[in-house]
Amino acid sequence: MKRKREEKNMEIVWQTPVNPPERQDYIFRNGRRHVRPYYFEFISHVKNRWAGKSIVDLFAQEFKGRPYDYYVDAVKCGRIQVDGQMVPVSYIVKSSQKISHFLHRHEPPVMAWDVKILRKEPDVLTVCKPASVPVHPCGQYRKNTIVGILQAEYGLAPLFPVHRLDRLVSGLLILARNASKADIFRQEIEAGKVHKQYVARVIGVFPEHEQVVNVNIDYNAREGRSTAEVGNSCGDTSIKGKAACTKFTRISTDGIHSIVLCEPVTGRTHQIRVHLQYAGHPIANDMLYLSKHVTDRSTQGVSADKAAVCSGHSPSSGFDQNSSDANGGNSIEDFSIDPMCTNCPNLAPKGYDGHEEGLWLHCVRYSGPGWIYECPYPEWATLS
């Protein structure tokens, strides 16, 4: 009863994508950038397999991150609505109806490194992207993104990312400052006129001479990882993956690790990571693509997130985001507690392990017709 009275008396300000991130939205703690939790409307439409279920049963069966009683209360107080209207808990949903879930949103934290501006031109902005920060809103991230941070801390908007960097990858990121410039970059990339360079720290002594890996890559969205696909299209087994090519040149080695220049000719998901694994020299802290043998021998205790949650693909609907993120420290003094929220009083959502580190993969240079943009090498790229 107390929780319901608190809920009734709360003054809630709902945020939408129209509400820009602001500097005061961020809380820095223990080396991480957190987002002050905020209210947000997640929208989905009833799938055919959902039709005929009660609104409460739909949520309880499809989104198991919250208890059944939460969904009952959420429907009763209007935090779950159908076609913009409150409905009874027994309401039966119909195909294609719009369902809104109003949540007290807790974003996962990212590392608290600054987003360093490298060059600021009238129609182009380049930055050094820190690892762990996604480029743009995707999955559970909205404000804790490069685009959100640049808007909040520098007032830079709108911004149009020209290329993708996985969340755990650092380095050069090019952002157009208007749609027409973004379209020019897109056309040059699609025409194969843009040359990309990365550096990686890999396991073992990489061969001295240039290595070219020309192996198809098949991305499994469900598993969040890619595989190198070797086969003969004329044989019995068809090749599903997309053609991919990467050039590798050793920069240095200390006998245990090597620093390698990576030049992707194509742009497939996790291409550099998979091609290095295929070449027998995976990135030294890439737990997603290290074999068990290599992990046990060379990288025990050095880890990166098993899967990059955001790799630059289209944002998910974020319909119910509670089931796969982080327990943060107790932070009651930093934000208002929502009595119905299943994450409060913690800053971060449930499930986040909080022990990731950036991949040893860094974008250093992009060049095209009449232009070159560069980013300094990271500290890990120097072998002592």
Question: If we measure between CA atoms, which residue out of 166, 32, 183, 174 comes closest to residue 111?
Answer: 32
Please name the helix (run of DSSP H) or strand (run of DSSP E) that holds residue 151, with its range, or none: helix 146-154
Which residues on neighbouring strands pair with residue 80, listed in sequence order? Answer: 101
Strand pairing class (170-176; 361-368)? parallel
Cβ within 8 Å of residue 142, ≥6 positions away: 17, 21, 35, 40, 105, 107, 148
In single-letter form, the type of residue at position 111 comes to M
Distances (CA, A) of 333 to 46, 76, 330, 345: 38, 29, 9, 9
Write down the catalytic residue from 25, 73, 166, 325: 166
The question of whether 166 is a catalytic residue gets the answer yes
Question: Using CA atoms, how far apart are residues 378 and 116, in angstroms rounded to an integer?
Answer: 13
Six-digit token string for 347: 């800053």
**158 CA to centre of own chain:** 20
Residue 46 contacts residue 93 (beta carbons within 8 Å): yes
- Does residue 345 have a cis bond before it (omega within 30 degrees)? yes
In whole angstroms, how far apart are CA 161 and each of 174, 229, 272, 282? 6, 30, 20, 28
3 state SS of 69: helix
**What amino acid is encoded at 307 in this protein?**
A
Half-sphere exposure of 116 (CA within 13 A, CB side): 12
Angle between helices 55-62 and 68-76 (to 10 degrees): 140
Give the Å distances, CA to CA, from 267 to 51, 166, 190, 296: 39, 12, 10, 30
Taking the mean position of all CA atoms in its chain, how far away is CA 215? 26
Catalytically annotated residues: 166
